């Protein structure tokens, strides 16, 4: 089949465009395309102890953490994401070439509030961005541009929670997720034109958790965030099809987090976390139009796993230092699942952080993480029915994260 005809078939690869939509985020955050950096405090410990309390940001992983502090409390975190990723296409029907850096510098933030309404009852609200960020190659003419150029996904999640202390040392919590998503994908459909999809959607889910304190100084937290599905409703435009109403489905995973916070000495605490993400429900992603189903792209991801250990040390009555290391098992374990928008692979996190108690009511936080991402390969075809390829090559990637935050007791 001539390459010129194959190029036109790229314009119908709407489902590939949609799949890349979700995937673009992972180049700048975590395995799959979720975002771990939901709290400056826990970014400093590489998310070790994240579901076991210590800061209000623990609410993201465990709804029961809403009940940590008396009265009215709030926390906000702001993170600068500096990703790097390079795609080197070593073989394809369209030649060879490199993408340059596909990472787009971005920021993400999270805010939490909790209020004690009774002796054993708390209510709270978390505003976060659980999935997202973006990629775009510096060299938009390299062969991989027929698989993806600009990729963006933004999510905004409101999570009202309630927590109840049912007995000394036992607190349970639950909440509702209300999430808005916006996606955009551009990819080349001819040497001179760019195809584009854009869509938005609302989705709803739940959160739940329990916090146990079996002995003095020991806190165990177990949290759950439910799966959600976004049916992105928008339009797809290409050289070959014109503009069509389109819907693409993105299946987001269940996430279960288990954490430990153990006091070792009056000034030292040991932290640990294990997290499972149900990315295996992300089997494929397809585009539907008023004229019937469009092409689809298989994902066939595995479940993702994240393990971290860390510690906190009170250097003084006002200054706390923390650090952590994490190992993340990517849901992408094969070159045929690693798309040009996401050089995702197994990762190692190295993190440091500090907190300074500015006053009786205000604490300032800062953290830095570097993520080492294992090199990987790609072996891809365009979406069915075009099936042009293979596009083979190698990817290299890493991420730097800088975060600041503030906690307030009102």
E strand or H helix at 112:
strand 106-116
Position 30 scores a pLDDT of: 67
Spatial separation of the C-alpha atoms in residues 186 and 17, rounded to whole Å: 7
State both tokens at 176: 């509702």
Kindly report the backbone phi and psi dihedral angles of residue 16, in degrees, each rounded to the nearest multiple of 5, phi listed first: -65, -40
Q: What would the two tokens of residue 321 be?
A: 């230092």
Q: Which of 309, 306, 282 is nearest to 296 (CA)?
A: 282
Stretch among 72-76, 380-384, 406-410 having the lowest mean pLDDT: 380-384
Mean of all residue pLDDT scores within the chain: 88
pLDDT for 387 equals 75
CA–CA gap between residue 407 and residue 295 (Å, rounded) = 48
pLDDT at 206: 98
Helix (H, G, I), strand (E, B) or coil at 17: helix
Determine the pLDDT at residue 194. Answer: 87
User: Which neighbouring-strand residues pair with 125?
Assistant: 113, 160
The whole-number average pLDDT for the span 253-268 is: 97
Question: Is 14 a residue whose pLDDT tops 90?
Answer: no
Tokens 């503030």 locate to: 406
- Structure token digits, residue 271: 């932290």
- Rounded to an integer, the average pLDDT of 253-265 is 97
73 and 56 Cβ atoms separated by less than 8 Å: yes
Q: What domains sit in the chain, N to C, each tagged with a CATH number? A: 3-409 (2.40.160.60)
3-state class (DSSP) for residue 56:
helix
Choice among 174-178, 303-307, 313-317, 381-385 with the minimum mean pLDDT: 381-385
For residue 274, pLDDT beyond 80: yes
Of 293-297, 315-319, 363-367, the range with the lowest mean pLDDT is: 293-297
- Give the pLDDT confidence of 323-341 residue by residue, as tens digits: 999 999 999 989 988 878 7
Q: Model pTM?
A: 0.91
- Give the model's confidence band at 295: pLDDT under 50 very low, under 70 low, under 90 confident, else very high: low
Most confident of 70-74, 278-282, 337-341: 70-74
With a CB cutoff of 8 Å and minimum separation 6, the contacts of 256 are 222, 223, 224, 275, 276
């Amino acid at each position: 089949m001539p390459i010129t005809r194959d190029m036109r078939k790229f314009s119908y690869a709407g489902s590939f465009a949609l799949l890349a939509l979700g995937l673009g985020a992972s180049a700048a955050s975590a395995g799959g395309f979720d975002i771990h950096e939901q709290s400056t405090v826990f970014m400093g410990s590489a998310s070790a102890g994240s579901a076991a309390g210590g800061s209000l940001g623990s609410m993201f992983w465990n709804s029961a953490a809403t009940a940590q502090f008396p009265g009215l409390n709030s926390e906000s975190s702001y993170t600068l994401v500096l990703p790097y990723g390079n795609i080197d296409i070593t073989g394809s029907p369209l030649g060879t070439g490199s993408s340059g850096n596909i990472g787009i510098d971005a920021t993400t933030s999270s805010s939490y509030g909790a209020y004690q309404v009774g002796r054993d009852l708390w209510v709270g609200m978390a505003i976060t961005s659980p999935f997202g960020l973006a990629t775009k190659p510096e060299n938009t003419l390299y062969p991989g541009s027929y698989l993806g150029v600009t990729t963006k996904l933004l999510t905004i999640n409101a999570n009202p929670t309630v927590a109840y202390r049912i007995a000394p040392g036992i607190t349970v919590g639950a909440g509702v997720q209300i999430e808005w998503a916006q996606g955009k994908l551009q990819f080349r459909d001819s040497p001179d034109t760019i195809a584009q999809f854009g869509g938005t959607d609302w989705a709803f889910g739940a959160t739940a958790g329990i916090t146990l304190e079996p002995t003095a100084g020991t806190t165990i937290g177990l949290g759950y965030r439910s799966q959600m599905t976004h049916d992105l409703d928008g339009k797809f435009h290409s050289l070959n099809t014109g503009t069509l109403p389109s819907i693409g489905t993105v299946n987001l995973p269940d996430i279960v987090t288990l954490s430990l916070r153990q006091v070792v000495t009056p000034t030292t605490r040991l932290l640990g976390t294990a997290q499972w993400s149900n990315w295996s429900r992300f089997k494929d992603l397809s585009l539907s139009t008023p004229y019937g189903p469009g092409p689809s792209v298989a994902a066939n991801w595995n479940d993702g796993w994240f393990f971290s250990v860390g510690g906190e040390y009170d250097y003084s009555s006002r200054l706390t230092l923390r650090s952590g290391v994490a190992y993340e098992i990517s849901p992408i374990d094969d070159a045929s699942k690693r798309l040009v928008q996401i050089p995702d692979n197994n990762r190692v996190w190295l993190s440091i952080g500090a907190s300074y108690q500015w006053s009786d009511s205000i604490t300032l936080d800062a953290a830095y993480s570097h993520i080492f991402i294992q090199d990987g390969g790609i072996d891809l075809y365009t979406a069915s029915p075009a099936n042009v390829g293979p596009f083979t090559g190698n990817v290299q990637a890493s991420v730097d994260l800088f975060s600041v935050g503030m906690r307030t007791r009102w």
